[in-house]
Amino acid sequence: MNTGYLVQFGRLAYVGRFLSESANLLERGQRVVVRTVRGVELGVVLCPASERFSARFDSPESTGILRLATEQDRNSADDIACAVLTAAEDAVQQLGYAVTVLDCEALLEDGPIILHILPWAECDLDPLLVQLAAQFSRAIRVLDIARTPIDSHTPEPASGCGKPNCGSSDGGCTSCGTSGGCSSSGGCSRRAVKNSTEMTAYFRDLREKMQAASHGRTALN
């Protein structure tokens, strides 16, 4: 029985079970075009989906894997995503929204464009979305990273930063404990973000570092 393949898709590396229209076997790492609940998008084959995965995933769509992806598919998705990301960052700065635009992904076949955002205060993004939709003639959706599901497991309370006698007057840090980080200059780097400008700069630098290191990872869209 053909149970399809496990395919990774989306910037957040979702995994789904899809059937292929082709009789040809697919190999790990091959880039494919899949139809997901979000639309038509790029994905990467992980492995065949045997019966033991059936309880973990929804029933696969019979036309889930549409075809092998081409370089044109990847370039078109990357080009529009980069253009929308730049426009969104500029508009957010000009309009003074309390939000950082972290990333952007574009689906294929003129599907929606998804902005990954991190707000730090309530704000109405409708004017921004209308502006971008008119500019690029595509539907614009928002993914609030702060509201994505997370593991509900509560970690063990931290006892400090690991330095000898941390938390005491004899240690290298004088403010470590279960309720805070380190505020001294003795080697700990955790601290609060001071303002929106600092947060925006931090995430922009983080994204640039991830993009620079992407040659060592499988790129996902």
Amino acid symbol at 112: P
- Of the listed ranges 9-13, 104-108, 168-172, the one predicted with least confidence: 168-172
Amino acid symbol at 67: R
Q: What are phi and psi of 76, to 5 degrees?
A: -65, -40
Q: pLDDT at residue 96 above 80?
A: yes
Q: pLDDT at residue 73 above 80?
A: yes
Contact present, 136 and 151 (Cβ < 8 Å): no
- Spatial separation of the C-alpha atoms in residues 69 and 22, rounded to whole Å: 13
Structure tokens at 16: 């789904």
First to last CA, the chain: 29
CA trace torsion 213, 217, 218, 221 (10° rounding): -40
Provide the pLDDT for residue 134.
95
Most confidently modeled of 159-163, 180-184, 199-203, 215-219?
199-203
Across 117-143, average pLDDT: 92
pLDDT tens per residue across span 15-39: 988 988 777 889 999 999 999 989 9
- Spatial separation of the C-alpha atoms in residues 215 and 212, rounded to whole Å: 7
Confidence of residue 2 (pLDDT cuts 50, 70, 90): low
| DSSP 8-class letter at 186 | S
Provide the pLDDT for residue 79.
95
Across 65-87, average pLDDT: 95
- Spatial separation of the C-alpha atoms in residues 168 and 13, rounded to whole Å: 42
Contact present, 129 and 160 (Cβ < 8 Å): no
- Domains of the chain and any CATH numbers: 5-69 (no CATH), 74-147 (3.30.300), 156-190 (no CATH)
Amino acid symbol at 53: F
Structure tokens at 95: 């309009």
Structure tokens at 184: 């001294």
Cα separation values, 193 from 25, 98, 124, 180, 190, Å:
49, 14, 23, 14, 10
Confidence of residue 3 (pLDDT cuts 50, 70, 90): low
pLDDT tens per residue across span 193-206: 455 566 666 666 76
Cα separation values, 40 from 23, 66, 107, 213, Å:
20, 9, 6, 27
Q: pLDDT at residue 87 above 60?
A: yes
Residue count of the chain, please give it. Answer: 221
The 10 Å Cβ neighbour count of residue 195 is 9
Across 168-178, average pLDDT: 43
Provide the pLDDT for residue 60.
61
Burial string for 144-163 (b: 16+ CB within 10 Å, else e) reads eeeeeeeeeeeeeeeebbee
Q: Is pLDDT larger for residue 159 or for residue 210?
A: 210
